[in-house]
Copies of this chain bind each other. A is one copy, B any other.
Amino acid sequence: MATGNPTLPNLLPIDGVKIAIVSAGIKKPGRRDLVVFELAEGSCVAGVFTKNRFCAAPVLVSKEHLSKGSPRYLIVNTGNANAGTGEQGLRDAKATCDAVAQCYGVSASEVLPFSTGVIGENLPMDRLLSAIPTTKDALVADAWVDAASGIMTTDTRPKGASVSFEYQGHSITLTGISKGAGMIKPNMATMLGYVATDLAMDQEILQALLTETATKSFNRITVDSDTSTNDSCVLVATGKSSAPAITSEQDELYGLFKEKLQTLMITLAQAIIRDGEGATKFVTIQVENALSQDEALEVAFTVAHSPLVKTALFASDPNWGRILAAVGRANISEFDLNKLEIYLDDVCIVRDGGRATDYTEEAGQAVMNQEDILIRINMASGDASETVWTSDLSHDYVTINAEYRT
């Protein structure tokens, strides 16, 4: 199941990015499961990666290669995460880079590898290596939609977003794709994401932009509180637009671009929640007037991770007592229970330390019947606010994750 509009919008090509999607048969024969991005020379690349200590072999190699300079190729396989695979996993990730480097005449450190899928199995290197040369003839500029499908695992739909805007007569384009449906919990971009623009940019600024916008998008979503070992998000600036390069945060274009990028990143992140494993609801949890950002996040994620809140959402049950109980166990400093307010959309459910006197079950039920639900929590103890997005806990979540390997 999934929520919202299943249609992928038109994804604009980015000058300087070519994409190939081929079949390596990693997990299923015939599945187009291998994606290569070719980035024009001079492209600038930034990345953010999982904070799980058991980060997968491709994450380790990508981080190392990214630290050495600007990559020219990204290679992504689905069906196998190459995680928890020890030394053999590292050798396999490096051999993958070697094969891409040989195929395209670059050095192995100019290749970033990415893997997603089952944890703990070795990559089928023979099939992977024999598929890499077939990517060369498959490279085309306008393949973002196919790439969005190529990186899927338990996703039920491809995810992507695109925006084009003008600046002083110059056209600037920004396109991104993401994947992820389970093992989704913020601690870095808990998924795979590839975003590119034709704008020119300094590497430090690109990295700072990615880190900041990922924090407010991919690090604000949760399906099941489980942090993947393979999460990675990459932002590419090819510099092919005629617009002036961004070389400083003082540049006028910086603020404009950042706003567009943040919107696109939130769209990609929300798409993951809309396609959350077994999702029947899209839930926004907005915590206001908390003592600090950290406390606002702690309250929001405690509610978002509560299995009892999530099953009540699945049942469209306005069981506000479970929301209240989750807020009550959040690990934050003291606050005044009698000032706290909780709303379902505009319906106040908790006020003065208990059920709001004007609350009616009918009003609560009407909100819970919706597919999109806003839970708003006013802590009345400070001025910090945070928003996170989550899905419900349904039978399909259990089915998908109980049967994933069978």
Contacts and interface: CB of A to CB of B under 8 A. Distances in A.
A289 interface: no
Contacts of A311: 397-398, 401-402
B355 A120 contact: yes
A310 to B, nearest CB: 9
Contact of A183 (B86, B225, B308): B308
Given A307-B307, A325-B54, A405 B319 contact: yes
How many copies of the chain does the oligomer comprise? 2
Q: Which 7 A-B pairs have the closest CB atoms?
A: A86-B354, A119-B321, A54-B328, A315-B402, A311-B401, A120-B321, A227-B329
B402 A307 contact: no
Interface in A114-128: 118-120
Contacts of A81: 321
A25 interface: no
Contacts of A325: 52, 54, 83-84, 119, 183, 226-229
Given A53-B328, A54-B325, A227-B328, 16 more contacts: A54-B327, A84-B325, A87-B352, A87-B353, A119-B324, A119-B325, A120-B354, A185-B329, A187-B329, A225-B306, A226-B308, A226-B326, A314-B398, A315-B402, A315-B406, A397-B398
A226 B306 contact: yes
A59 to B, nearest CB: 11
A232 interface: no
A88 B357 CA distance: 11
A240 interface: no
B319 A354 contact: no
A395 B401 contact: no
A16 B118 CA distance: 59
Contacts of A354: 84-89, 120
A284 B358 CA distance: 46
27 contacts: A52-B329, A53-B329, A53-B335, A55-B328, A81-B321, A84-B325, A84-B355, A86-B355, A87-B354, A89-B354, A119-B325, A120-B320, A120-B355, A185-B329, A187-B329, A224-B307, A226-B306, A226-B325, A226-B329, A227-B328, A228-B325, A308-B401, A312-B402, A315-B402, A317-B402, A317-B406, A395-B398
Contacts of A326: 226
Contacts of A397: 307, 311, 398
Interface in A356-406: 393-395, 397-399, 401-406
Interface of A: 51-55, 81, 83-89, 118-120, 182-183, 185, 187, 224-229, 305-308, 311-312, 314-315, 317, 319-322, 324-329, 335, 337, 350, 352-355, 393-395, 397-399, 401-406
Given A86-B354, A226-B307, A329-B185, A404 B120 contact: no
A84 B399 contact: no
Given A311-B398, A395-B398, A398-B395, A119 B322 contact: yes
A324 B53 CA distance: 9
A229 B84 CA distance: 39
A353 B85 CA distance: 8
A85 B320 CA distance: 12
Contacts of A317: 402, 404-406
A395 B399 contact: yes
Nearest to A334: B53
Contacts of A87: 352-354
B86 A353 contact: yes
Nearest to A122: B355
A159 to B, nearest CB: 21
